[in-house]
C-alpha cells in the first residue's frame, strides 16, 4: 500500500545534509527543531511498551499496524510513536519472550496507547496469540546485532551456579570465546580490547571476575543486553569491533520484593521497591566465598570478588524520568600475605529522559567510570606496588525525533575527559635500592557528534544512514618523550622531552565515521540486508599475554600512538517461517583494520617507562560467514550458531614483518543450546560448544648458549592447539508454590563439561623434570606440556524471591 | 613477572590438569650458533661454535671445529682465534686467541666467523662495569622453602657504586664455591641501572648460601644489545607457556647472516667473601 508518493522536501534536505561534511551535522543539529514543526497530514499515536509484571520498559519491542507494512520499534525508554491517517487500526505489539498483544484503536486525533506485555512463561496454558508473528527478525533494518534472551539465559547451564550473560554473548554468531578462564570474547576478527562494554552507558574495561569464571554482570539486575557487531548506530563509537550494551532493570514501582540465590561459589541478594509513588529503587549485592573455603582448607591463598549495584528512579511526570545507577565491583587475590593483586570497575550514570512532545525525546546522561588494577609484593628485599588506572567523566546528550512514519532521526553529542595512569611502581621499602618509577600520565578529551536517520523509501526498502565525527585530543600536562634512532631494531634512544602545559594539545585526531544500512523485504518472510560501518578507536589496550587478562594498561592515542580504524562490510539474508516460530539468518562480512596494536618481538614489558616504544601498529583483516537458527517459542526453545572465519595480522616488527594468524583466529565455531520445559516444575537445558584450537607460538628446535638450552622460534602463531569442545547440562526444579506464602524458590542443578573434556588452555615446552622437579640428565631432553582447566564440575544453586 | 604468572596459574586453576603431549613439529634446517666473549681480564676470551638441533633431539648439540675465527678491534688490531689448541676433550667447539690478547674498556670489537662458505660477523663495545666494594653475608630473614631444605639460609649483600649519569646494563654472575650458579628457570641475572640507585647499599645477590660457602659476585658490563639479548633469552627459557607472557621469539642477536647466539664485549669486576656466622 503506497501511502505517500510525493517527496517531502524535508527528506531531501536531510538526504543532502547527511552527505559527509561536518558543517552538515552542525546544520542538522540546528535544523532538528524546525524540522519537526513541518506539518504532516497524519496523526500521532504513541505510548510506552512495558512488561506487565514489573512495568519495565521493553526496549526494541515492535509495533506493527496490522494489514499494512507500517511499524516501528520502541526506543530505549520503551517509547514508540507512529504517524497514521485517521481511521481504524489494529496495532500488534511484540517482544522476544513475551506474548504478542493486539490492540484495536480508532484514530481521530493524536492519542496515547500504552501496552503491557505478558511474559510467556508466566501462564501455564498456552494462549498464544498467533494472529501475528513477531517478525522483527526480518523487518528490522538493524543487522549484525544479537540480543541476549534473558529468559533463556536464566535456564541455561552455568559454571558453579551463576547465570552469566557474557557466556551467552560468547555463544553468539560471529563471536569467539577467548576460552576458559576469561570473560573476554572476540568479534569478527577483532581483538578483545576492541569491544566496548557498557553498563547503563558507562564503560566497563574488564568484565571478568575470578579470571572469567564469572562476569561483572549479575543476571538478577540485567534487563537487556545487546551486541552490535556491525551496522552500528552512530551513537556508539570508540571501539573497532563491537558494542555490548547492557541495561540494568528499571526498579518496579510495586511492593517491596526481596530475592537472591545461594550458589556453590557465590551468593547474591537484592531488594526492590518503592519509596513513594514516584520513586523506586533496587539494590543488589553479590559476593563469592571461595576465600572462605580456601581458608577452611588451610590454604594460605585467598581469592574473592564482589559486586554492588544500585538504581534510584524518579518518574517525575509523564514526560520526565530521572535515574541514578551505580556500580562497583572488585576482585582480590592474596597469596600468603606475600603477594596480592586486585582489579575492579566503578561506574555511575545519572540519566534524565525527557519527552518534549509525542515525537521528540531526549536523554541527557552524566557518566563516570573507572578501572584500575593493583599488584603488590611484600617481598622483604624489594617490596613494590604497581598501580594502573583509566578514568573518565563525561556527558552525553541524545535526541530521537519521529518525523512522520517514514523517518526517525537520532542525533547527539558526547564529550568526556579521560585520564590514564598507566603505571606507578613505588618501592615501599624505606631503604630500598630501587627507585620509584612513574610512567607518564595521559589525559584526553574525547568528543563525538553524530546523526543518523532511518528512512523508509518504499514498502520494501528502508535505508539507515548517518555520520559520526569523533574528535580526540590528547592534552597536557604531559612530558612527551621524543625518541630518535631506528625503532624497528629496538636501538632507539631518548632524544628530548616536550613539555606540554595543562589542557594544551599534545596531538589531536578528527575522524569521520560513515555508517550505512539497507534492508530490502523479499516478501513477508524474508529480507536482504547490507551494511557498512567505519569505526575508530582511540584507547589502546597494552596487554602482554596471548589471552586477555585484567592486567591491561590502557593508553590513549597521542604523540606515539595513532588511532585504530576499521571498515566493515556485511551482507545478510534473514528468514522467518510462516507456520513455525523458527527464524534463521546467514551473514557474510569482511573487515579491514589499520593501526591495530601489538608488542614487538622481544618486547620488554614490565616496569618499562619507554613501553610505548615496544608497541607496533599495523594492519589486520578478517572475513567470515555466520549462520544462526533460532526457535523462539514453545516448550522447546533453542539456538544453533555456526561461524566460519579467519583473522590475520601484518605488523612491522612483529614476526619479522610477515603476516600471521591473529591470536583470535579460529576457523570453525559452533554453539548449540536448547531449553525444554518438561512441565511447570521441571526444565532441562543444555549447551554444546566447539571451536577450532587457538594458534600458538612454539619452538621448532633447540640450541646451546652458555649454560642455557634455548628454543628456536621460527614463526609467530605457527602451531595450533587441539580443538575446544564441551557439553553442559542444567536442570531447574521449581517446587509448587504455596499459595499462602509469598516465598518462591527454585533449585538449579548444573553440570559443566559433562564428558570432562580436557580442553587445551595453553601449551609450553620445558626440559624434562623428574617427580621432585629436578632436571633429568643434562636438561637437554625437552617435552611439550599442555594445561587444561576445568574438568566436569557439578553445582547446585537455590534462588528465592519473597 | 614469572612469579606473578605462577601465582595466576595456581589461583585460576584450582582444578587444572597438566600433561605431556607430543608436538608435531616440522623439521627446520640447522643453524650456526655463536657464543663469543671478550673481556678486560687476562685469559677470558673465547668463541664457542655449535649447531642447533631439533626439539626432540637430546644431549649436547653438534660442535663446529673447522671454522676460521678472528676478532678485530677499532684500532685495526687483528687477533686470530684457534680451535681448542690443547685438545681438551671438553673444549671441542671452543676457539681461543692464538697469541695473548686482553680487551679494554671503551674499545669496540668485531668478530668474524667463517664456517664452510658462510661468513658471520658482529660488533660489540666494552663499557665499564659497576664498581663493587664489598660482599657481606647476612642471615636471610625469609629464605625460600627450597633454600631452607638445602641449608642455604644466608644471603650475601652487595655494596658498591653505579655511575648514575650514564645508561648502563649489567650481567651478574654468582659463584658458589667457584661454580657458576645457573638456574635455567630463572634466566641470567641482568640489571638495568634504571632500577638501581647510585649507591648500592646491601642489595642481596640473587642466590643463597650455606655457612662456610665461598661466595663470589661478578659484574659484567653489557651493551644495550647484549642486555636485550639476555632479556630475550631469559624470556625464552623461563616462559610459562605464552599465556601470561608475550609470545616467544628469538632473542635479538647482533650476529649477521642468520646465526643464533651473541658476541659480547664485557668489563668485569668482582667481590668475594666466605659465608661465616
User: Domain extents for chain A?
Assistant: 40-134, 145-247, 248-311+319-779+781-801
**Span A145-247: which CATH code?**
2.170.130.10
Residue B170 belongs to some domain of the structure: yes
pLDDT in the model for residue A23: 39
pLDDT digits (tens, 9 = 90+) for A560-607: 999 999 999 999 999 998 778 899 999 999 999 999 998 888 777 666
Residue B205 belongs to some domain of the structure: yes
Give me the number of domains chain B comprises: 2
Q: Among B71, B91, B125, identify where a domain stops.
A: B125
- Shortest Cα–Cα distance, A713 to chain B (Å): 6
pLDDT in the model for residue A488: 65
pLDDT at B245 over 70: no
pLDDT at B274 over 90: yes
Instruction: Tell me if B21 and A717 make a contact (CB, 8 A cut-off).
Output: no
Q: Are residues B115 and B152 in the same domain?
A: no
pLDDT in the model for residue A39: 39
Number of continuous H segments (helices) and E segments (strands) in chain A: 6, 51
Q: Which of A211, A708, A765 sits opposite B12 (nearest CB)?
A: A211
pLDDT in the model for residue A18: 33
Instruction: Using an 8 Å CB-CB cutoff, list chain A residues near B239.
Output: 764
Question: Which of B9, B12, B259 is the best mutation test for A, with the most CBs of A within 10 A?
Answer: B12
Question: For residue B257, what are the CA distances in angstroms to A338, A802, B115?
Answer: 47, 76, 12
Question: What is the distance between the alpha carbons of residues A68 and A517, in angstroms, rounded to a whole number?
Answer: 23
- Using left for φ > 0, alpha for ψ between -120 and 50, and beta otherwise, residue A678 falls in alpha
Instruction: Using an 8 Å CB-CB cutoff, list chain B residues near A381.
Output: 203-204
In total, chain A counts a number of residues equal to 802
- Shortest Cα–Cα distance, B93 to chain A (Å): 12
Its domain, for residue B207, covers 128-250+267-274
pLDDT in the model for residue A421: 87
Could you tell me if B123 lies within 8 Å of chain A, comparing CB atoms?
Answer: no
Question: What is the distance between the alpha carbons of residues B187 and B251, in angstroms, rounded to a whole number?
Answer: 13
A463 CB contacts (<8 Å, ≥6 apart)?
Answer: A141, A454, A455, A457, A516, A517, A518
Could you tell me if B243 lies within 8 Å of chain A, comparing CB atoms?
Answer: yes
Instruction: Tell me if B195 and A434 make a contact (CB, 8 A cut-off).
Output: yes
Contact A247, A59 (CB under 8 A): yes
pLDDT at B8 over 50: no
Question: What is the distance between the alpha carbons of residues A773 and A770, in angstroms, rounded to a whole number?
Answer: 5
pLDDT digits (tens, 9 = 90+) for A288-322: 876 666 666 666 667 789 999 999 999 888 789 99
A619 CB contacts (<8 Å, ≥6 apart)?
Answer: A592, A593, A594, A595, A596, A649, A650, A651
Q: Are residues B142 and B221 in the same domain?
A: yes
Instruction: Tell me if A699 and B55 make a contact (CB, 8 A cut-off).
Output: yes
Residue B221 belongs to some domain of the structure: yes
Nearest CA in chain B to A303: B11
pLDDT in the model for residue A117: 87
Assess whether the previous peptide bond of B170 is cis (omega < 30° from 0): no
Residue B220 belongs to some domain of the structure: yes
pLDDT in the model for residue A22: 36
Q: Are residues B41 and B80 in the same domain?
A: yes
Label residue B213 by pLDDT band (50, 70, 90): very high
Q: What architecture (CATH level 2) is domain A248-311+319-779+781-801?
A: Beta Barrel (2.40)
Instruction: Tell me if A789 and B1 make a contact (CB, 8 A cut-off).
Output: no
Q: Are residues B39 and B133 in the same domain?
A: no
pLDDT in the model for residue B4: 41
Instruction: Using an 8 Å CB-CB cutoff, list chain A residues near B56.
Output: 782
Could you tell me if B99 lies within 8 Å of chain A, comparing CB atoms?
Answer: no
Q: Are residues B184 and B246 in the same domain?
A: yes
CATH of the domain at B186: 2.60.40
Residue B16 belongs to some domain of the structure: no
Instruction: Tell me if B55 and A549 make a contact (CB, 8 A cut-off).
Output: no
Q: Among B77, B108, B125, identify where a domain stops.
A: B125
Quick check: ipTM above 0.95?
no
- Is beta strand A279-288 parallel, antiparallel or unpaired with respect to A301-317? antiparallel
Q: In which residue ranges of chain A is pLDDT below 50?
A: 1-40, 122-133, 431-433
B257 CB contacts (<8 Å, ≥6 apart)?
Answer: B118, B119, B120, B121
Instruction: Using an 8 Å CB-CB cutoff, list chain A residues near B203.
Output: 381, 433
Nearest to A244 by CA among A199, A181, A309, A295: A199
Ordered DSSP codes for A719-743: EEPPPEEEEEEEEEE-PPPPTT---
Q: Are residues B40 and B110 in the same domain?
A: yes
Q: Among B74, B107, B125, identify where a domain stops.
A: B125
- A87-94 sheet: strands from edge to edge: A71-73, A62-65, A87-94, A101-107
Buried residues in B61-96 as b, exposed as e (16+ CB within 10 A):
bbbbeebebbbbbeeeeebebebbeeeeeebbbbbb
Task: Give the CB-side neighbour count of residue A200, counting CA atoms within 13 A.
Answer: 29
What residues are paired with B159 via a beta bridge? B134, B201
Instruction: Tell me if A607 and B204 make a contact (CB, 8 A cut-off).
Output: no
A40-134 belongs to CATH 3.40.50.2300: no
Enumerate residues 174 to 203 of chain B having a beta carbon within 8 A of any beta carbon in chain A.
180, 182, 184, 187-188, 194-197, 200-203
Select the more confidently predicted residue: A232 or B242.
A232
Enumerate residues 13 to 72 of chain B having a beta carbon within 8 A of any beta carbon in chain A.
13, 15-23, 25-26, 28, 30-31, 33, 35, 50-61
Question: What is the distance between the alpha carbons of residues B26 and A341, in angstroms, rounded to a whole number?
Answer: 40
- Cα angle A537, A543, A547 (rounded to 5 degrees) comes to 105
Nearest CA in chain B to A437: B195
Find the mean pLDDT for residues B254-268.
95
Q: Are residues B155 and B44 in the same domain?
A: no
pLDDT in the model for residue B197: 74
Question: What is the distance between the alpha carbons of residues A283 and A328, in angstroms, rounded to a whole number?
Answer: 12
Contact A412, A404 (CB under 8 A): no
Nearest CA in chain B to A427: B195
Select the more confidently predicted residue: A123 or B63.
B63
Amino acid at each position: 500500500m503506497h501511502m505517500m508518493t510525493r517527496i517531502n522536501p524535508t527528506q531531501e534536505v536531510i538526504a543532502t545534509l547527511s552527505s559527509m561534511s561536518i558543517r552538515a551535522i552542525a546544520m542538522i543539529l540546528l535544523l532538528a527543531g524546525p524540522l519537526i514543526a513541518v506539518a504532516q497530514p497524519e496523526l500521532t499515536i504513541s505510548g510506552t511498551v512495558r512488561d506487565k509484571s514489573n512495568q519495565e520498559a521493553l526496549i526494541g519491542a515492535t509495533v506493527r499496524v496490522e494489514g499494512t507494512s507500517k511499524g516501528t520499534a520502541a526506543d530505549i525508554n520503551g517509547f514508540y510513536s507512529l504517524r497514521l491517517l485517521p481511521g481504524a487500526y489494529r496495532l500488534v505489539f511484540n517482544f522476544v519472550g513475551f506474548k504478542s498483544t493486539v490492540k484495536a484503536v480508532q484514530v481521530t486525533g493524536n492519542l496515547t496507547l500504552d501496552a503491557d506485555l505478558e511474559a510467556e512463561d508466566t501462564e501455564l496454558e498456552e494462549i498464544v496469540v498467533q494472529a501475528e508473528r513477531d517478525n522483527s527478525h526480518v523487518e528490522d533494518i538493524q543487522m549484525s546485532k544479537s540480543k541476549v534472551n534473558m529468559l533463556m539465559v536464566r535456564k541455561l547451564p552455568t559454571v558453579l551456579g551463576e547465570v552469566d550473560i557474557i557466556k551467552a554473548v560468547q555463544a553468539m554468531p560471529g563471536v569467539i570465546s577467548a576460552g576458559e578462564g576469561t570473560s573476554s570474547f572476540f568479534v569478527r576478527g577483532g581483538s578483545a580490547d576492541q569491544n566496548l562494554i557498557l553498563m547503563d552507558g558507562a564503560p566497563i574495561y574488564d568484565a571478568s571476575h575470578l579470571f572469567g569464571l564469572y562476569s561483572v554482570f549479575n543476571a538478577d539486575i540485567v534487563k537487556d543486553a545487546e551486541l552490535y557487531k556491525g551496522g552500528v548506530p552512530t551513537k556508539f563509537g570508540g571501539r573497532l569491533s563491537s558494542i555490548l550494551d547492557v541495561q540494568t532493570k528499571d526498579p518496579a514501582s510495586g511492593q517491596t520484593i526481596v530475592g537472591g540465590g545461594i550458589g556453590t561459589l557465590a551468593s547474591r541478594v537484592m531488594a526492590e521497591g518503592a519509596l513513594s509513588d514516584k520513586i523506586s529503587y533496587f539494590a543488589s549485592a553479590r559476593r563469592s566465598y571461595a576465600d572462605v573455603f580456601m581458608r577452611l582448607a588451610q590454604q594460605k591463598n585467598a581469592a574473592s570478588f564482589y559486586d554492588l549495584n544500585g538504581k534510584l528512579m524518579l518518574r517525575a511526570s509523564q514526560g520526565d524520568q530521572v535515574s541514578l545507577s551505580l556500580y562497583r565491583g572488585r576482585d582480590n587475590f592474596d597469596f600468603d600475605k606475600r603477594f596480592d593483586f586486585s582489579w575492579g570497575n566503578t561506574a555511575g550514570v545519572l540519566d534524565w529522559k525527557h519527552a518534549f512532545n509525542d515525537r521528540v525525546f531526549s536523554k541527557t546522561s552524566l557518566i563516570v567510570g573507572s578501572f584500575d588494577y593493583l599488584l603488590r609484593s611484600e617481598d622483604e628485599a624489594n617490596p613494590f606496588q604497581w598501580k594502573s588506572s583509566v578514568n573518565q567523566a563525561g556527558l552525553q546528550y541524545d535526541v530521537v525525533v519521529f518525523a512522520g512514519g517514514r523517518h526517525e532521526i537520532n542525533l547527539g553529542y558526547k564529550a568526556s575527559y579521560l585520564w590514564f595512569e598507566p603505571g606507578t611502581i613505588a618501592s615501599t621499602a624505606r631503604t630500598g635500592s630501587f627507585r620509584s618509577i612513574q610512567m607518564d600520565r595521559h589525559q584526553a578529551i574525547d568528543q563525538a557528534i553524530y546523526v543518523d536517520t532511518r528512512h523508509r523509501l518504499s514498502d520494501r526498502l528502508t535505508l539507515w544512514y548517518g555520520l559520526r565525527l569523533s574528535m580526540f585530543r590528547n592534552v597536557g600536562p604531559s612530558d612527551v618523550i621524543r625518541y630518535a634512532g631506528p625503532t624497528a631494531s629496538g636501538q632507539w634512544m631518548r632524544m628530548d622531552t616536550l613539555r606540554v602545559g595543562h589542557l594544551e594539545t599534545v596531538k589531536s585526531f578528527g575522524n569521520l565515521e560513515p555508517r550505512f544500512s539497507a534492508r530490502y523485504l523479499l516478501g513477508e518472510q524474508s529480507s536482504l540486508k547490507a551494511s557498512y560501518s567505519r569505526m575508530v578507536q582511540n584507547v589502546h589496550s597494552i596487554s602482554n599475554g596471548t589471552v586477555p587478562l585484567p592486567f591491561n594498561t590502557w593508553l590513549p592515542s597521542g604523540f606515539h600512538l595513532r588511532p585504530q580504524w576499521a571498515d566493515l562490510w556485511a551482507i545478510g539474508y534473514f528468514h522467518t517461517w510462516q507456520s513455525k516460530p523458527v527464524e534463521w539468518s546467514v551473514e557474510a562480512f569482511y573487515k579491514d583494520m589499520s593501526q591495530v596494536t601489538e608488542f614487538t618481538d622481544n618486547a620488554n614489558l614490565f616496569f618499562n617507562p619507554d613501553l610505548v616504544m615496544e608497541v607496533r601498529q599495523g594492519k589486520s583483516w578478517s572475513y567470515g560467514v555466520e549462520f544462526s537458527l533460532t526457535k523462539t517459542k514453545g516448550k522447546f526453545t533453542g539456538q544453533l550458531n555456526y561461524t566460519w572465519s579467519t583473522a590475520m595480522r601484518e605488523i612491522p616488527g612483529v614476526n619479522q614483518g610477515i603476516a600471521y594468524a591473529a591470536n583470535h583466529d579460529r576457523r570453525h565455531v559452533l554453539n548449540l543450546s536448547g531449553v525444554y520445559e518438561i512441565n511447570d516444575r521441571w526444565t532441562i537445558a543444555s549447551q554444546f560448544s566447539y571451536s577450532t584450537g587457538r594458534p600458538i607460538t612454539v619452538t621448532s628446535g633447540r640450541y646451546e648458549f652458555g649454560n642455557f638450552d634455548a628454543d628456536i622460534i621460527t614463526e609467530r602463531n605457527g602451531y595450533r592447539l587441539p580443538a575446544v569442545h564441551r557439553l553442559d547440562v542444567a536442570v531447574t526444579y521449581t517446587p509448587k508454590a504455596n499459595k499462602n506464602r509469598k516465598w518462591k524458590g527454585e533449585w538449579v542443578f548444573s553440570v559443566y563439561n559433562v564428558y570432562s573434556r580436557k580442553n587445551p588452555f595453553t601449551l609450553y615446552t620445558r626440559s624434562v623434570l623428574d617427580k621432585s622437579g629436578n632436571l633429568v640428565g643434562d636438561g637437554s631432553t625437552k617435552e611439550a606440556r599442555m594445561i587444561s582447566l576445568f574438568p566436569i564440575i557439578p553445582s547446585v544453586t537455590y534462588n528465592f524471591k519473597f | 613477572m614469572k612469579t606473578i604468572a605462577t601465582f595466576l596459574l595456581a589461583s585460576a586453576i584450582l582444578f587444572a590438569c597438566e600433561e605431556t603431549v607430543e608436538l608435531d613439529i616440522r623439521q627446520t634446517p640447522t643453524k650456526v650458533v655463536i657464543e663469543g666473549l671478550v673481556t678486560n681480564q687476562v685469559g677470558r676470551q673465547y668463541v664457542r661454535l655449535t649447531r642447533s638441533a631439533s626439539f626432540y633431539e637430546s644431549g649436547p648439540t653438534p660442535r663446529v671445529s673447522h671454522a676460521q675465527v678472528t676478532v678485530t678491534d677499532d684500532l685495526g688490531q687483528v687477533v686470530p682465534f684457534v680451535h681448542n689448541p690443547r685438545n681438551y676433550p671438553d673444549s671441542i667447539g671452543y676457539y681461543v686467541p692464538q697469541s695473548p690478547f686482553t680487551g679494554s674498556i671503551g674499545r669496540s670489537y668485531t668478530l668474524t666467523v667463517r664456517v664452510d662458505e658462510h661468513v658471520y660477523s658482529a660488533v660489540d663495545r666494552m663499557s665499564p662495569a659497576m664498581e663493587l666494594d664489598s660482599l657481606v653475608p647476612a642471615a636471610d630473614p625469609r629464605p625460600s622453602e627450597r633454600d631452607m631444605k638445602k641449608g642455604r639460609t644466608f644471603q650475601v649483600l652487595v655494596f658498591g657504586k653505579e655511575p648514575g649519569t650514564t645508561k648502563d646494563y649489567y650481567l651478574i654472575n654468582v659463584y658458589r664455591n667457584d661454580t657458576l650458579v645457573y638456574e635455567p628457570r630463572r634466566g641470567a641475572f641482568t640489571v638495568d641501572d634504571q632500577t638501581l640507585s647510585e649507591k648500592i647499599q646491601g642489595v642481596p645477590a640473587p642466590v643463597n648460601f650455606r655457612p662456610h660457602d665461598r661466595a663470589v659476585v661478578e659484574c659484567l658490563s653489557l651493551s644495550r644489545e647484549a642486555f636485550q639479548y639476555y632479556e630475550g633469552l631469559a624470556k625464552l627459557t623461563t616462559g610459562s607457556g605464552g599465556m601470561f607472557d608475550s609470545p616467544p621469539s628469538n632473542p635479538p642477536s647482533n650476529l649477521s647472516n642468520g646465526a643464533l647466539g651473541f658476541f659480547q664485549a664485557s668489563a668485569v669486576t668482582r667481590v668475594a667473601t666466605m659465608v661465616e656466622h
